[in-house]
Structure 1
Amino acid sequence: MIDLYYWPTPNGHKITLLLEELAEAGAPLEYRVHGVDIGNGDQFKPEFLAISPNNKMPAIVDHAPADGGAPLSVFESGAILLYLAGKTGRFLPTDLRGRTATLEWLFWQMAGLGPMTGQYGHFHVYAPEPIEYAQTRYANEANRLLGVLDRRLAGRAFVAGDEYTIADMAIYPWIGVYDKAPIDMAPYPEVRRWHAAIRARPATARAYALAKQVNPDAGKPMSDEQKKLLFGIEPKR
């Protein structure tokens, strides 16, 4: 049994994408979802910090680790993807070149696409006042990274080649995140083609359906108090 501590954010979606793909691939891991309401401060509760000391979700607890020992907790979405792929032997190539490419693009997402797109969203959607320099800086960086991804996908079904991997699952949720500040995807035909193919997968639909089950208010604007809790800033009056 896997306990998944989750909230419907891009990083949360990564893990449900993998868990649902594992079920589709005939290697299911039984899991139960625990909502971590980051707008109400659940991520700061002592019981959550015991498994995720950086007060971020997602996190998991594996009650049947491969070593047969006590339950094992894992935090950080990239580490969780690697752990679950290793546990099941799925969605992480075993050949040297395929595995290396998958790890490269997984860490590219973790170090680049996620943080830069997150900052793009913060300054275009959530900041209490517009800051032109920050908006331009992160828009430029988000577009640069989309260009990198578009070039990588040319001639490939997925980022590591013909095989769908945890790298794709890490990247996918960070594309087209902000409805209130959409990035023009017209210059990135390969990304659009790849994104549509993943969106059409049955496991993707099931993974995203969890969002409304866990948080019926998903997609609604955050209150000033929630923004203060998440970002540590007072709203501009």
Structure 2
Amino acid sequence: MKDIHLYTASTMNGWKPVIFLEEAGVDYDLTHIDFASRQQKSPEYIAINPNGRIPTIIDKSNNNFVVFESGAILWYLAKKYQKFIPQNNDKESEVLQWLMFQMGGIGPMMGQAMFFQRIAPKQGEHNSYAIDRYVSESRRLLEVLNTRLEGRSYLVNDEFTIADMATYPWARAYHWAKVDVSGLENLKAWFKRIDQRKATQRALTIPEPFEAFFGRGDSEQQAKQEKANADRF
């Protein structure tokens, strides 16, 4: 029996635990939550995740312990497997700080930038103030990352950690959020570094790839993906 059962979908938050599990070489079971049929709002799913969002894990080796919220899942897995987290207490705290920076800043701001530019207009709403606010704040947060990455390979201790795993899918989706990254050379180098990690790139195809998030794929695929994304953020 595999220890971890993951419930997820192909979103920036949904890929975070997949990246960990693939990078760590942990065998796991996966249930693909189908947004089109609103499986994330089903009574069965709400029973394990009261917020009705993805991802969620069940640790069968720990009395079927349930963890929801993507950052909490990464922290749980890192502690369980003692991987992708420093053993030094101060460095561990730094990882937690940058993990929270993603959860409280990068994710929410870029998610709103995506929503107000890509989803709201399809529902007859165009709010220039909201777009300017969220795109500008997303750019500011990416500048913070760029400064942090000056002279560093990764966010903490020059080693790939759960802070990078959490931040990469969101920051790398700057194209989808329509956020300009010109001049952010440290950030771009970090993208390239993680773009070359085979396990992370494999994770971004599970349960299915959405290449347009990252500025890849053709226009037909992008249009199809925009139509499918109303419940993703």
TM-score normalised per structure 2 = 0.87
Partner of 1:26: none
Give distance in 2, aligned partners of 1:131 and 1:147: 24
Partner of 1:16: 18
Partners of 1:39 and 1:230 within 8 A in 2: no
Aligned residue among 144, 147, 150 for 2:146: 150
Q: What is the aligned residue count?
A: 218
- Identical pairs, percent: 41
Give distance in 1, aligned partners of 2:21 and 2:85: 14
Partner of 1:162: 158
Structure 2 residue runs of 5 or longer lacking an equivalent are: 211-220
Correspondences of 1:1-237 after superposition (within 5 Å):
1=2, 2-23=4-25, 29-65=26-62, 70-128=63-121, 129-177=125-173, 179=175, 181-212=177-208, 220-223=224-227, 227=230
TM-score normalised per structure 1 = 0.86
Give distance in 2, aligned partners of 1:19 and 1:83: 12
Higher mean displacement: 174-183 or 54-63: 174-183
Tell me: CA distance 1:142–1:180, structure 2 relative to 1, closer, same or farther (3 Å).
closer
1:83 maps to amino acid = Y
Partner SS for 1:74: strand
Give distance in 2, aligned partners of 1:33 and 1:222: 24
Report the CA distance between 1:179 and its aligned residue: 4.3
Give distance in 1, aligned partners of 2:15 and 2:111: 15
Give distance in 2, aligned partners of 1:160 and 1:92: 9
Partner SS for 2:48: coil
Give distance in 1, aligned partners of 2:66 and 2:176: 35
Partners of 2:99 and 2:166 within 8 A in 1: yes
Partner SS for 2:182: coil
Report the CA distance between 1:185 and its aligned residue: 1.5
Report the CA distance between 1:154 and its aligned residue: 0.3
* Runs of 4+ with deviation above 3 angstroms: 178-181, 221-224
Aligned-residue CA RMSD (Å) = 2.1
Partner SS for 2:225: coil
Partner SS for 2:110: helix
Give distance in 2, aligned partners of 1:45 and 1:132: 35
Give distance in 1, aligned partners of 2:177 and 2:162: 27
Report the CA distance between 1:140 and its aligned residue: 0.8
Partners of 1:121 and 1:178 within 8 A in 2: no
Structure 1 residue runs of 5 or longer lacking an equivalent are: 24-28, 232-237
Partner SS for 2:29: strand
| Per-residue CA distance 1:185-214 (angstroms, 9 max, x = gap) | 112111110011011101112101224279
Partners of 2:9 and 2:32 within 8 A in 1: yes
2:46 maps to amino acid = L
Partner SS for 2:148: helix
Tell me: CA distance 1:180–1:14, structure 2 relative to 1, closer, same or farther (3 Å).
closer
2:22 maps to amino acid = E
